[in-house]
Structure 1
Amino acid sequence: MMAPLEVIGAGFGRTGTDSLRTALNMLGYKTHHMKSFWEDQDMNPDGFYEAYMHRDQADWDKIYANYDAAVDWPTVTFYKDLVAKYPDAKVLLTVRSAESWYKSAKNTIHKAALLGLNAPEGSHMARFKRMTTTVCLDGLLADKEAFADEEKMKKIYLDHIEDVKKTVPAERLLIMELGEGWTRMCNFLGKEIPKEPYPSTNSTEEFSKIISGLKENTETFALPTNKSN
């Protein structure tokens, strides 16, 4: 059991969070990400759903058992709780322009959130769907009408960035531009800079393959392995 968390990602999905997950794993962390629900069959989406519905009762050590870092949704929704729970954790805020974030999110995770999956009631996929449509962006990610309001969504994105800056003490926070590389992050975390290039994963094109996999594998919750960067 690895919790407590040492690194908390406060950036919205589609700000390079999968590349960040890969990078943190290369530095020796075991990092939770939305993809963990597809790769770790012991990861229960109900824990995050119940934490959202009953915030004061959340057992974060149990929810993040086996992980010592966490990025992407659903973690982002709970970043304030986690920053308070784990006072020694460092916080990474990944950012990009509001326009590029909205375009990327609209073409990927928003599409995935709208999928009409015929998952059996009580199945892993059905429970995952309930969690994501409730917790991610407070349900707005799966709200077709709300997400269509580009200016509103960009404001929510920018307000979140400002909220993180105001919430997290400056000495615990590193703001990372999309694709900036290793140097500042490794210095911030006290890690040696790897010889390998900083990873670049989960492009819009790659995510389209994931959506196809979701459509085809609603019962087993299995997804195609995508090893390309």
Structure 2
Amino acid sequence: MKVLVVGFSKTGTKTMHVALKLLGYSIYDYEHNFFYLRNEWTKILTKGGTKEDFYNMYKDVDASMDIPVVVFWEEILEAFPHCKLIYIERKDEEDWMRSWQKQTDSVKTNYTMKMLSCFSPTAFSIFRYSRHVARCVFGSDSWLWCEAYQGISPTVAKKRYRDHNTSVLTRAPEKQLLKFKMTDGWGPLCEFLGQPVPETEFPHKNKGASLLEDWLKDNPVFLQMKFEMKIALAVVVALVAVGLYIFM
């Protein structure tokens, strides 16, 4: 692990994901953590973890971000003591809360996500992981993984956001920390990472909570879930057709 984005969810982490990818870093973002490391994270969240656990999880990855990684930034830094930290925040906690609520609402109203929860084995297997993460980060609970972050108390959410920011700003090693604003562009980021400035414009992702649409459209993890759902639905239709043929 070379870089850990320690800005909380909904502070520009998806934009930073694209920026780091353009700089050549391999990345584990939110979806990669639940797809590839959900068993390891479930163990950490329910039974505990060690420095060796975190090292083995991220030794072959250049960068990571978003929950639950960001909540355990100190433990990950202990496993990778020379890791560089990128801190991002929104203009205030009310602005952050509005952005968070908009994102969760986009999931809540998406029927494809609800269908995936019922007909994709991969999606269903993520259910327990998502519940543990939501409970750890926000103290929330749900019986559907696609609704794991619904019903969160705004007071609790804003406190978690505030406490996280305070934790990073007061305890992170100053020489390893970049306090970044999206308006800063490539310059400060590339200087901090020792990378040449790309010729392309600095990216801007997940504008207007478009992340879910992007995931469902071209993310390999979600494409696999959609494929599994189609197969499951085809099997259900076939069984119904056979049943009707036999009993009619």
Q: Confirm or deny a common fold (TM above 0.5).
A: yes
**Superposition pairs for residues 58-73 of structure 1, below 5 Å?**
59-64=53-58, 66-73=60-67
More helix by share: 2
Work out the CA distance in 1 between the residues paired with 2:173 and 2:65: 18
Aligned residue number for residue 102 of structure 1: 97
Cα gap change, 1:183 to 1:211, in 2 (>3 Å): closer
Q: Quick check: 1:221 aligned with 2:225?
A: yes
Task: Give structure 2 stretches of 5+ with no counterpart.
Answer: 141-147, 228-248
- Provide the secondary structure at the position in 2 that maps to 1:91: strand
Q: Check conservation: 2:104, 2:150, Cα contact below 8 A.
A: no
Aligned residue number for residue 132 of structure 1: 130
Deviation per residue, 1:177-219 (Å, 9 max, x gap) = 2443111111111111111111111223423525877xxx989
Q: Check conservation: 2:5, 2:86, Cα contact below 8 A.
A: yes
Which stretch of structure 1 is more off in the superposition, 149-158 or 104-113? 104-113
**Please, which of 184, 191, 194 is the counterpart of residue 187 of structure 1?**
191
Work out the CA distance in 2 between the residues paired with 1:177 and 1:203: 16
**Superposition pairs for residues 144-163 of structure 1, below 5 Å?**
144-145=150-151, 147=152, 149-163=153-167
Aligned residue number for residue 45 of structure 1: 38
Cα gap change, 1:72 to 1:62, in 2 (>3 Å): same
Work out the CA distance in 2 between the residues paired with 1:50 and 1:87: 23
Q: Quick check: 1:17 aligned with 2:13?
A: yes
Work out the CA distance in 2 between the residues paired with 1:172 and 1:218: 34
Q: Quick check: 1:84 aligned with 2:78?
A: yes
TM-score using structure 2 length: 0.72
Give the 4+ runs in structure 1 shifted more than 6 A: none
Deviation per residue, 1:47-102 (Å, 9 max, x gap) = 21212223334622332254111111221122111011111000111111212211
TM-score using structure 1 length: 0.78
Percent identity between the two aligned chains:
22
Which stretch of structure 1 is more off in the superposition, 47-56 or 181-190? 47-56
Aligned residue number for residue 23 of structure 2: 27
1:108 is displaced (CA, Å) by: 1.0
State the AA in 1 paired with 2:167.
D
- Give the aligned CA root-mean-square deviation in angstroms: 3.0
**Please, which of 40, 51, 54 is the counterpart of residue 47 of structure 2?**
54
Work out the CA distance in 2 between the residues paired with 1:130 and 1:168: 31
- Provide the secondary structure at the position in 1 that maps to 2:61: coil
Deviation per residue, 1:109-160 (Å, 9 max, x gap) = 4653897563469x32123232222124725263544x2x324322221111
Deviation per residue, 1:23-61 (Å, 9 max, x gap) = 1111111011013258xx6x1421212122233346223
